[in-house]
Structures are given as C-alpha cells and as structure tokens.
Chains A and B, each alone.
Chain A
Amino acid sequence: MSAYRTGDPLGRRRFLTAAALRGATVIGTGALSTGALSTGALGTGVIGATALGAVDADAAFAAPIRPLDPAVAESAFAEGRITAINHDVLEVAGSYGDHSRVRVTNATSVWKARATTAADIETGDGLYARGLPLPDGTLAADAVWVNIVNLHATIRGIEKTRLHLAHGQHEIVGNLMARTTSAAYGDASPTADLSRLTIGQSAQVLGAWRPSDGSVDLVRVAVAPGAGRRR
C-alpha cells in the first residue's frame, strides 16, 4: 500500500474546500460506533491517505515521501478531546481551554491505530488534526490522528498479550495487537517478531491510547540497533 496518493491533479486547498462545501460526501449512512456518546453520526466510507495523510505507520515508514503541496504552509492545527460529533464536525475541547471545530471531509485521512474511517471516531477520543481554516471557523481536516501517542518508554515487563512500560514516573500497559503490533530494531524494517524485545530496553512506542482504561494499543515498538540481538 502506498502511503501517499499519486497523480492527484487537485490542489489540496481546492480539494478540501470543495469537499467541505459539498457537505462532505463521506457523511451519511454510518452508524455510531459502540459506546459512542455522539449526537451525530460519521459515515463509514473509507477515507484513504492523502498527500499529507495519516496512514498505516509501517507503510508510512517504508513508503517514499512525495512532495507536499505548498499550501501546507497555510495549514492549521488542532488538538484536544472530542466532546461531540455533529454530522461531519468534531467538537474538540483543547488542552488549554480553547475550542475547535474540525470538519471531516471525503479528503480527510483518519488514523486510529491504523488507517481507518471516520466511523471509528468516538466522543472522548483525543486527536491531533491538521487542515485548512474555513471562513465558517471550522478546520477542514486533511488528516486526523485519533488517540495517537509516540512515547519514549522503558520496557518493564513482557507478557503474552501486553508490555508493561515506564513513561517518566508513570506505568503504562501496552496492548499487543495480533497482525498489527510490530517491532523496529534500529534501521531494519519493522517486523512482527517481538521476541527480541527485552526488559530494561529503551523503546519508542507508537500507538493509540484507549480512553476507557488508559492503556495503549501498540502499533510499533522501536528499540536501538543491536538491542536484543540474538547471540
């Protein structure tokens, strides 16, 4: 899978704006995800990676990077917790008491432990969003990363289905996900083989936070080259 769409003749600003003004055709028939407290519904259409988009971590890591649209300099950014979902607009409470309205369009890529659809976004989720500010005050998002974390941690324990991690002064449970969690040993390509992870290693943990219990679904655990090398 290519991390970046090729051959797109549309300018990013024009595409996002058009998508937003059309009413975001991605919206419509999707049901709310289980457990969502939303007041609206986001659609179920697959929202693929864009030229700037959020994509599967390993694919993004391995794929060639294509030039970004010059409009990136005009990009805006929002972060915080989603308090409500009104059709295609995410109401976001920022971490400093600010408030943002993030519009999801058919040009938006969504990442939530993997490339996914807007239907997976729930109230209570945290997000980082990048996009273009529209005249109505919303941010037309070209990429939304839901619950994404990228933490420097130390591996404190290893179980069959989870890792115990120390992040600063805090303990975090990292959930291993079948067919998703990979390990990156230095400059080698990420692998599903986690057997070389060892207790005491420094690790960079890319994953998705679970608001329900505070744990992290692990997407990639990166350790230094040579760490855990077989003897």
Chain B
Amino acid sequence: MACGSTKLWNGEATWFCCGNAWGPCASAGGGACGTCRSSALQAAWPNASKACWDLTRPDLCGEDIPRRGCGSVMKVRHDCSGASVCVTVSDCGPRTRSFCSESTCCDGVCRTNRVIDLTPAAFSAIGSLSSGTLPVSIFE
C-alpha cells in the first residue's frame, strides 16, 4: 500500500519501543501485530482492532478514530516542520484515554489528544526523541 496524501486524522504523536530491545524495553515484545521493532518505521494505532479500541478508548477524549489494522500504511507529518515519515501499523496504542485533552504545540500550532505512537526510528525521522511528543497530521 502506498503512503498517501488523503487526510486521515491529526493530534499528538508519542513514541514507544518494541521488539527486541535494551533496558526497560527489553520486555516490550513484538506488539499486537507481532512484528513491531523499534528500529523499523512503524506505529501503534489506537483502533487497530476492537480489542485495541477497548484498551485505548480515544472516544472518551472525543476522538472517533477510524479502524486501521496491522499492515496499514500512513504518512505522519510534523505540523510545524513539514517533515514526514511513512509508517506501518504494527501495534495497538497509545492509550489515548489516559491523557485526554493533553496538547502539544509548536510555532502556535497545537494538536490535542494522543492519536498515534511511533517507533524511535519513525519519531526521530521527523523530530527529537527528547521532546516526547509532536503535533502531527496523518495521511493515508
């Protein structure tokens, strides 16, 4: 599937580790899809399945995020820099409901609610890992 340009959603992107890894991430495992690796350009999506949705519950934050399962391809664009990266959905997350109304801003642009979780490889392609979150738009 191609990395498209049709707007899908926007919000905050966070990052997470998965697969074989070091430190506290050593127990992360391959994620809900079984294929997740920190060094790959991948993402966790809060509605990767019904079971996933029940855990993340973005609707509790007002986000009726559509379902996109394992293997779906998305383009994630940093809303201020314009830098983008193509990722494959490989896990379930982030737990949107735990951080309702949280927002991230840059250059006056703010995005609210965690809607996608990127691997370190994907997140670092568009921003600094030490920032923790980024405001993004998502395309497919």
Contact = CB atoms under 8 A, between A and B. Distances in A.
B78 interface: yes
Contacts, number: 158
Given A126-B23, A172-B24, A79 B39 contact: yes
A187 B106 contact: no
Interface stretch (A22-30, A31-39, A143-151): A143-151
A95 B132 contact: no
A128 interface: yes
A147 B120 CA distance: 12
Interface residues of A, number: 57
Nearest to A185: B102
Nearest to A51: B81
A128 B129 contact: yes
Report, as a range, how many residues of chain B touch the other chain.
35 or more
Contacts of B130: 54-57, 60, 111, 145, 148, 206, 219
B130 to A, nearest CB: 5
A58 B132 CA distance: 9
B98 interface: yes
B102 A150 contact: no
Interface of B: 14-17, 19-25, 27-28, 37-39, 78, 80-83, 93-95, 98-107, 110, 112, 120-121, 124-134
A187 B102 CA distance: 5
A57 B132 CA distance: 8
A57 B131 CA distance: 5
B124 A67 contact: no
Nearest to A81: B22
B134 to A, nearest CB: 8
B27 A75 contact: no
Contacts of A68: 78, 81-83, 126
Nearest to B132: A206
Interface in A135-158: 143, 145, 147-152
A61 B131 contact: yes
Given A60-B131, A95-B38, A186-B102, A170 B24 contact: yes
A65 interface: yes
Interface stretch (A13-21, A40-48, A191-199, A220-228): A220-228
B88 to A, nearest CB: 15
A126 B105 CA distance: 29
Given A52-B128, A187-B112, 20 more contacts: A54-B129, A55-B128, A61-B133, A65-B106, A65-B107, A65-B134, A68-B126, A79-B22, A128-B38, A147-B23, A149-B17, A151-B16, A152-B98, A167-B24, A186-B99, A209-B24, A211-B23, A214-B23, A214-B24, A224-B99
Contacts of B107: 64-65
